[in-house]
Structure 1
């Protein structure tokens, strides 16, 4: 696991610039900082040493080729053995060693051989010199890039804050970014908060040569399950899933540094915890909760799973009085505004993992998106009205459309409407178009739309950036190609069997997880913001001071009188209707303040 950066084309970039880029994301690779400069190009790497520690120095090089890599390749030993039959030899056991030999043999298609998570940069000088960037199909590792004003140079980095250290960084904020953020709870790709900066989408290959830029995306083909008697069943799907996950967990637990598991107390993380404990001895588990009595407290479920599995359990407790300082800390590590309330918990949890001496943590992310674990998927699938997609889009927003319309200033609302803004059903219409295309059934279309359009930017960027802020690698079993391919092959009535959502996961987990965890209603792993934004609570005072203060930077976009109305409503009658937009505005205001940004008045 590392952080990578570089540039290609135009004039040579000074070493002090590269040092500044690397320094901006030092936490993501504290073990070694290296760079290679060539004629009009540079590649750099901040290394978090996980596998093949003694020999995994980057950039990797072969004749006419250089490469830097962020991620982990879990089938590297199998690939190394195959490459050895082709005459390649290796020193050590670093997973990145196999990348350039595979590229030599297969060209751009080499990424189809990789099982893991990755963002890879290759400078190929053999024919027409070019830069190529590659991302895995789940989008677990980020890459941001931009072109110079003259179009001759492309710069890239794993983090936006690092990319901004290049001297020609185009720092103009997209005036629609606030609408995109509030309409989707995060800035969805491939655009970013900056008008001329983009992020590479999942499963993409970027090629840049001679000032010409092209980006292509590939799909992950579904598996072809061998159903008993040729009939798909939940039981058979559960057996397949369990076999695949045990294989993936076995590879993910293989590292040269200590590995732990995150146990929220929910089904998915409990299942991965149980499998990990079955595969290796002396597994450490981590759970986070809040001092005091709060709604949605799952610590007792996590403790039950830990006892059942025999893990060494670490219970992390946060004092809500310290939340304002924690908010200011974690927002600095979010490249773009993100309203996920569990960002606070995620940041603090990975800090505790790091402090306990672990460099790798397994999480249960992705199961809901692959196997239909959220009620919103089922409700939209069963909604036969002509406006189902309008309602569905609202479930992904920080506030209802009518609330956003009242929240925006008249000038900003007019600008958003003229541009066909995010909450103005643009994405809902696109989703409806995909459903009508008939390529997949309605439920599967909903799931894939979420997996590739929303999930990488709302969830995975948060997990990646907030874990790496503490030099911890987050490994995600459910997002490995074998699991994704199986999920894409399952019929809708297998994923949602009657009233049981995520049915194959629940059925597979029964063998390993206490029944109390498998059978209990789904509960999101999140911060109880409705209860925590009340008079007397630290977050309540923070919102009043920042979002309603005279120096609020987001007032160019939002009406202060509407914000005061929401604050008054939350004071008198606390509920999600007011708490969620207030929390979202707090995240936006803190993000702008951390970067000393003042949006332009439109």
Structure 2
């Protein structure tokens, strides 16, 4: 995996543009420490840092053909099959890497090539003849790509921090967008929380010249296949097995060893099982074990390790570790977060790299495509209850929503929870689907914003924004399918793959691969019958039925428990905030960044300064984590790290400004 950056147009002269692209690349070396390179023409500069995984000696970037130059972050897993098809058309190759396959496929098919790729990617492709830059992103936004228009030029980068190196530029937050992010855990469409910075939308490409954006298009959308579901659970299981097995096969393609993450849940257990099917040799697995028993899943991890006989490493994580590493993790998050769950994964990727592993398979994506989130259960309850709102029996199902949360089965709590869910009976079936409940929970954050930023909770505005990203056939889907779409468009690409996936693994130069996000798997399962995915309140039902005989009973039969880490508890030590958290939540720092109301934050902190209750609610955990991470995000925007590139590690330097080219390495 790699990092890419680009500068197109503007008023910079050649030497200034080259210095600028080198500065941008220097912020991305954690994504690719194995070499770096640049390409410069009269209008454009491209930069690349490489994490070498396929064709270790070849495949350096930027890579140029007679007409095109590519700067690419990602993997094309079906590159061998595509190479064979291209060779039948007379195309010749000089390397065995997937980068050259992507370049030659674009030469032959143009933008139609993107729909042929089975992979995860962000690409910058320069047409030397037309003086046009094509930028593209994979189907589900697994690999990031941001765009900034500044000083008459367009800047592109895998990570936002690269923009912090631009002379005279400092990123600032759009407060209404920040509040939208607070409500939904992501902003809608291609917007970000920063003024002037947007994200290239998943499944799209865009065209630019030095004068500006000149077009683009969408080559993929979730649910576009209009597929049909198998009629029986057995047929559905057979298709899932076939597709997922092949997905893992493709994602094991590598010229370096591949490991796997093992959380103790069914998703990662299935992936490690399938890895063992293809990899008969002992392979490495990695997991997080928490000192706090409430979060620890090491028993289930050990059960699976015994089943597959992997070479396993478990990283022990306590409250102090999360507190200690939170600031550095926020540097890589590049946005406020709502949970500390990404921090242990940040720590784990460091251990993975120390053990010589550059690639890990993980279970992300299963919750979205197999209805594993709590939002799916809540929607199912609301839909059932909504058919008979006056029923006294139907709302009793609230008690069965969360088996792992004791207060849900507490009779004394039932009345309050009934009133809470009753408030959504008339609102769950709009375009936001399950996001209605998330936004309802998080709207309390409006009270914490500073009075100079009068953010407002406008549900109709959110719904209208959502409508703009919905496909034409959205209305024909079931309620659960609609929620699958919305979760993948918001929570998955903009939050989970960022704060727990791509950013946390590549913070320490480890590439994450996600077999559940093979588009063949996603498209097939999207149209499976709802009852195959959510049977009653049994989440990911099909997965358990299909793979149950391959996994320990303890994993198959355990109630669904989301991966979480200690939030609020990690920042309060000995009756008060930790030194670092106290600094960022101090009145002085709150005034300096000007986002939050000092009095409201002080009240929140004082609530826990003396004693932390045994059970902490979702909102308190979310409030502390969001506000603290927002403060830290402002810190990094004003204090960017300044890294230097090692000239000796430069592998490519192409100067195309005078019609001549040169390269190193």
**TM-score normalised by length of structure 2:** 0.82
After TM superposition, the structure 1 stretch with the greater mean CA deviation from structure 2, 109-118 or 88-97, is: 88-97
Cα 1:49/1:538, change in 2 over 3 Å: farther
Cα 1:316/1:81, change in 2 over 3 Å: same
* Alpha-carbon distance in structure 2 between the residues aligned to 1:424 and 1:540: 36
After TM superposition, the structure 1 stretch with the greater mean CA deviation from structure 2, 532-541 or 97-106, is: 532-541
Match of 2:238 in 1: 239
After TM superposition, the structure 1 stretch with the greater mean CA deviation from structure 2, 188-197 or 509-518, is: 188-197
Match of 1:363 in 2: 362
CA shift for structure 1 position 515: 1.7
Cα 1:17/1:256, change in 2 over 3 Å: same
Match of 2:498 in 1: 461
What is the DSSP-based 3-state SS (H/G/I as helix, E as strand, rest coil) of the residue aligned with 2:39?
A: strand
* Alpha-carbon distance in structure 2 between the residues aligned to 1:192 and 1:584: 16
Partner residue of 2:145 out of 132, 143, 146 = 143
Match of 1:83 in 2: 86
- Aligned ranges 1:292-371 → 2 under 5 Å: 293-371=292-370
* Alpha-carbon distance in structure 2 between the residues aligned to 1:376 and 1:226: 24
Match of 2:654 in 1: none
* Alpha-carbon distance in structure 2 between the residues aligned to 1:404 and 1:362: 35
CA shift for structure 1 position 586: 1.2
Verify the 8 A CA contact 1:8 1:155 in the aligned structure 2: yes
* Alpha-carbon distance in structure 2 between the residues aligned to 1:319 and 1:381: 36
* Alpha-carbon distance in structure 2 between the residues aligned to 1:471 and 1:107: 31
Q: What are the Cα deviations for residues 302-343 of structure 1, in whole angstroms up to 9, with x where unaligned?
A: 111111111111011124323332112211122222223211
CA shift for structure 1 position 158: 0.5
Match of 1:156 in 2: 156
1:72 paired to 2:50: no
Cα 1:593/1:171, change in 2 over 3 Å: closer
What is the DSSP-based 3-state SS (H/G/I as helix, E as strand, rest coil) of the residue aligned with 2:58?
A: coil
Match of 2:435 in 1: 393
* Alpha-carbon distance in structure 2 between the residues aligned to 1:98 and 1:44: 19
CA shift for structure 1 position 222: 5.3
What is the DSSP-based 3-state SS (H/G/I as helix, E as strand, rest coil) of the residue aligned with 1:123?
A: strand
Match of 2:631 in 1: 589
Match of 2:248 in 1: 249
* Alpha-carbon distance in structure 2 between the residues aligned to 1:92 and 1:264: 37
After TM superposition, the structure 1 stretch with the greater mean CA deviation from structure 2, 552-561 or 276-285, is: 552-561
* Alpha-carbon distance in structure 2 between the residues aligned to 1:453 and 1:206: 21
Verify the 8 A CA contact 1:35 1:59 in the aligned structure 2: yes
Verify the 8 A CA contact 1:394 1:400 in the aligned structure 2: no
CA shift for structure 1 position 391: 8.7
Q: CA RMSD in A?
A: 2.6
Match of 1:442 in 2: 479
CA shift for structure 1 position 187: 4.6
Match of 1:31 in 2: 34
Match of 2:413 in 1: none
CA shift for structure 1 position 125: 2.4
- Aligned ranges 1:408-447 → 2 under 5 Å: 408-413=449-454, 416-417=455-456, 421=457, 424=459, 426-428=461-463, 438-447=475-484
Cα 1:49/1:585, change in 2 over 3 Å: same
Match of 1:265 in 2: 264
- Aligned ranges 1:167-246 → 2 under 5 Å: 167=167, 169=169, 171-187=171-187, 189-209=189-209, 211-213=211-213, 214-220=215-221, 232-246=231-245
What is the DSSP-based 3-state SS (H/G/I as helix, E as strand, rest coil) of the residue aligned with 2:538?
A: coil
Q: What are the Cα deviations for residues 437-474 of structure 1, in whole angstroms up to 9, with x where unaligned?
A: 62322111111111123311111112111211101101
Cα 1:542/1:549, change in 2 over 3 Å: farther
* Alpha-carbon distance in structure 2 between the residues aligned to 1:272 and 1:362: 7
CA shift for structure 1 position 289: 1.8
Verify the 8 A CA contact 2:335 2:629 in the aligned structure 1: no
Match of 2:4 in 1: 4
Verify the 8 A CA contact 1:535 1:541 in the aligned structure 2: no
Match of 2:645 in 1: none
CA shift for structure 1 position 100: 2.0
CA shift for structure 1 position 592: 1.5
* Alpha-carbon distance in structure 1 between the residues aligned to 2:174 and 2:605: 27
Q: Which runs of 5+ in 2 are unaligned?
A: 387-424, 641-665
Q: Which runs of 5+ in 1 are unaligned?
A: none
* Alpha-carbon distance in structure 1 between the residues aligned to 2:635 and 2:170: 19
